[in-house]
Amino acid sequence: MAKLDTKALLEEFRDFLQVQRGASQNTLSSYDADLRQFFEYIDKEKRSLINFDGITETKIKNYLDHLANQNISLRSIQRKITTLRGLYKYLKSKGYAGDSPLQKIKTPRLEVDLPEIFSVEEVENLLKAPDPKTNLGSRDLAMFDLMYSGGLRVSELLDLKLGSVHWEDGSLLVTGKRGKERWVPMGRFAQQALRAYIDDCRSTLMKGRYHEFVFVNQRGLKLTRQGFWKILRSYAQKLKFKKALHPHILRHSFASHMLERGADLRSIQELLGHSDIATTQIYTQVGAHKLKEDYEKFHPRGKERLS
């Protein structure tokens, strides 16, 4: 097997992921960085040419040991293994390489990090915080209410267009990962907040611009992920929330609160747009964790028994 030019391969593989797999820019950037790091390790002479059939299982293990010695986290190593598996699957499909040297290599298991969530009371306080009489307050209320009402990802929220809102049946057409579309119902309060924002405030914030994105910043441009994060963090600080914030905390809160109140796991999976129910099952662990906390807190001998 001839040696492959790694620069050309990176571009080809990136095009494949983007066009055929619908990978996001974040995913493309991660794959790119992981593969560059791997190629630099394998191609020590920096000739940008690699014979992938010459990469053995032992070389892969040596590379993983190299990463571990650099104190790279298990989560990052896990992602890099996934990247390499994807690359070798592509190489084989194109006839560039034979069987993957990663076939017998096990991905290191991680302890599942339970997602931080808001309590119902904290969500209510957050939704009361924006001033709906102001343009920005009306926008913020609509964003928070929609995200909690439908369990939207941040990217799904910010990619919403005016044509995606179906007022007649109170639903949204959301585009999720890999371009997968799904219908998400709007709660009554979320629908009211969105209607008030679009009808009374959005045109003023647009400042004469025209585009279809629902949520905009003060300059009338599409609100960015960084902009949303800054807004959410600002409200949480004012409310003195002590939770470890992350952009998807309202999405996780939605799923956890639905499950606590008896919603079917399959229904939650569909609403969240998870392709695999195993991803949704993490919220059952959140519930179990809460039960343990309550037991320790309220049972007279809870801590003693659990210890």
Residues 269 and 266: their CA atoms lie apart, in Å, by 5
Question: Is 246 annotated as catalytic?
Answer: no
Question: Is 251 annotated as catalytic?
Answer: yes
Pick the catalytic residue from 283, 295, 301, 303. Answer: 283
Retrieve residue 91's tokens: 């190489």
Cβ(174)–Cβ(156) below 8 Å: yes
Question: Is 261 annotated as catalytic?
Answer: no
Pick the catalytic residue from 80, 139, 251, 252. Answer: 251
Pick the catalytic residue from 80, 139, 202, 248. Answer: 248
Question: Is 248 annotated as catalytic?
Answer: yes
Instruction: Please count the CA atoms within 13 angstroms of the CA of 48 that sit on its side-chain side.
Output: 6
Strands 165-166 vs 171-175: parallel, antiparallel or unpaired: antiparallel
Retrieve residue 73's tokens: 């986290």
Pick the catalytic residue from 3, 61, 153, 222. Answer: 153
Cβ-based neighbour number of residue 253 at 10 Å: 24
Question: Which amino acid is located at 180 in the chain?
Answer: K
Q: Which of 244, 242, 247 is nearest to 224 (CA)?
A: 247
CB neighbour burial string for 81-90, b if at least 16 within 10 angstroms, e if fewer? bebbebbbeb
Residues in CB range of 275: below 8 A, 6 or more apart: 177, 180
Pick the catalytic residue from 92, 177, 195, 246. Answer: 177
Pick the catalytic residue from 14, 61, 195, 274. Answer: 274
Active site residues: 153, 177, 248, 251, 274, 283
